Amino acid sequence: MGGFYWLYGLWGIAMVAVFIMAIRLSYRVEARSPELKNTSGLPRNAMWFHVVTNTGVARDEETQALRWKMNRLFLVNVAGFVLLGASLLLSREAG
């Protein structure tokens, strides 16, 4: 188990990087969608839940393509954490 700590660390860093890429895409989709556009001038959190559920998102092809790319990145992130959990569970049972 001890020899895999570096692998789990790299895995975690990769998952954080994928999550950041998805959030950046969410901001791009929001900027292209009039209902989600931030007009206050103040920074705010990404409205990724709205983008995932397609609530208030512009319907043009390019925006929808960005949204689907973001959804795939979130799915990769979820799958990565499921695989990490399964790996930890299996290593605990083996040792």
Chain segment 24-83, per-residue pLDDT in tens: 999 999 999 999 998 888 988 999 999 999 999 999 999 999 999 999 999 999 999 999
**Which residue is associated with the tokens 């397609």?**
54
**Which residue is associated with the tokens 């979820």?**
78
Give the DSSP H/E element, type plus range, for residue 20: helix 5-32
Name the domain count of the chain: 1
The whole-number pLDDT of residue 95 equals 61
Its domain, for residue 6, covers: 2-38+47-94
Contact indicator for 63, 32 with CB cutoff of 8 Å = yes
